[in-house]
Amino acid sequence: MLSMSANANVAVLMSPEMVMERGLVSNKNYMDIDFPRGHIGVKSVNAELVDERGNPLPLDEAYLHHWVIQRYITGVRDANFSIVRNSGICDTAVTQYFGLGAETRKTATDIPDPYGIQVGDPAGIPQGYKEGWLLNVHAIDTRGTEDKMGCAECRCDLYNVTRHESVVARPLGYKGGVLCCPDQSRCRLKQGFHGDKRSIYLRYTVKYMDWDSSSMIPLKIYILEVTDVWTKADQSKGIQDSHHCAVEYDIESCDLKNDKNGCIVSTNVSVSLPSGGDVIYGVSHQHTGAAGTTLYGEGGRVVCSSKPIYGEGNEVGNESGYIVGMTTCYPSPSQPIRIYEGEKLTLVSNYSSLQTHTGVMTLFYLLLDDSSPQPRALKMTTVPKFIWPVVLLGVVLVLVVSKGKTRRTDGYEAML
């Protein structure tokens, strides 16, 4: 049985205020937030939307599209500022340390002993810099809206944002996604509904321990993304290794009578990580309509499967039709699951296509322990031929802040 720390410190913190109205969207630029300071090992981060009295808000009133906590360092005496990326392979997208979405309340995030996500290490912060944390919350007030689920999926025809008014001009054929529901946009209301302001907050809970190098093992955070277009390096042609992650894509509706797959659309991508390690934790992030995600290693072995938990009632945390949780992977220490250096991994994401879904996502969070050598297996079975169709619709994620960024060799990403 996995050991979870019972003596961890717990910090319950609140985001800056978000003033909402019926149909209104809040998706502010990254905001500075409080976070436990010092050299610590983070054991868990979770969150939920609450009102000004601290009461949890139901997803069918205040939909939590996503929340993201990003680590950064900044100069103590100057304006130098650099994002501290996780260890993932996407070039510009999904650089966060923590984050989920509507599934937050029933998704386990605890990290078993003796592991932790190490932050605040003085040896890892350049002289003259300090560490900080940023938060992005994408919340949609769906009270009184014409189509609550359509608003949650950011369908363009429901929002008051024209193609050229988007933060980033959306491409032709873009039907839905974050480019259609930017900050202060509004989803179409039913006739007679209006106004009614209220303040909401993201309440986030951080469990942590003071770092002890003699008893704690640091983990690396990898976030895989199913739309990743991997261009392998070719030095003879001057091509650098790259991973373009669009993050969003659409699911087109099917004809159940004529669909041999039961109207399940599978999307897959194959990638390799820069280093190997033992899997300590795994979970997927998907949107409504999801039917689960599986990460395969070479030979078709299952590394981790994560499935959605759908609500079945009306109470907070069990909202009917919404994903209220995702199952997670905690491999047993007696039977570790190892990813080898250079091993090809295949991420397969399934969505129902009984109806059209716009702006869906499939991210896969992995926490790896690479503290011990990961020798390549002497013999691996042949990789199966995956026959699922790959859906790669070119959609741009508004959260990507790639313009003006340059990748640095010290692991940070400069913000110009």
21-56 confidence digits (pLDDT tens): 999 999 998 899 999 999 999 999 999 999 999 999
Cα–Cα nearest to 49, from 15, 81, 6: 15
Q: State both tokens at 184.
A: 């202060």
Cα–Cα nearest to 181, from 57, 287, 65: 65
Structural domain range at position 20: 9-415
Q: Which residue has the tokens 């199952």?
A: 327
Residue 3 lies in a domain: no
Contact present, 347 and 363 (Cβ < 8 Å): no
Residue 4 lies in a domain: no
Tell me the mean pLDDT in the region 323-343.
95
State residue 373's pLDDT score.
Answer: 60
240 or 357, which is more confident: 357
Q: Measured between alpha carbons, how far is 407 from 221 in angstroms, rounded to an integer?
A: 18
Q: Is 50 exceeded by the pLDDT of residue 203?
A: yes
Tell me the one-letter amino acid at 7: N
Q: Measured between alpha carbons, how far is 254 from 406 in angstroms, rounded to an integer?
A: 42
Residue 141 lies in a domain: yes
Q: Is 90 exceeded by the pLDDT of residue 115?
A: yes
392 or 41, which is more confident: 41
**Contacts of residue 407, Cβ cutoff 8 Å, sequence gap at least 6:** 91, 413
Instruction: List pLDDT tens digits, range 175-200.
Output: 999 999 999 999 999 987 776 899 99
pLDDT band at 312 (very low <50, low <70, confident <90, very high): very high
Residue 402 lies in a domain: yes
Q: Is 50 exceeded by the pLDDT of residue 391?
A: no
Q: How many CB atoms lie under 10 A from the CB of residue 302?
A: 11
Residue 2 lies in a domain: no
| Residues facing residue 323 across a β-bridge | 310
**SS3 (DSSP) at 322:** coil
pTM for the model:
0.86
Mean pLDDT is lowest, of 141-145, 169-173, 204-208, for 169-173
* Total domains in the fold of the chain: 1
Q: Which residue has the tokens 């909402």?
A: 20
Tell me the mean pLDDT in the region 221-243.
90
Tell me the one-letter amino acid at 329: C
Residue 270 lies in a domain: yes
Q: Is 80 exceeded by the pLDDT of residue 412?
A: no
Residue 239 lies in a domain: yes
Q: Measured between alpha carbons, how far is 403 from 201 in angstroms, rounded to an integer?
A: 29
Residue 154 lies in a domain: yes
Q: State both tokens at 280.
A: 């300590």
Q: State both tokens at 226.
A: 């199913």
Q: Measured between alpha carbons, how far is 141 from 118 in angstroms, rounded to an integer?
A: 35
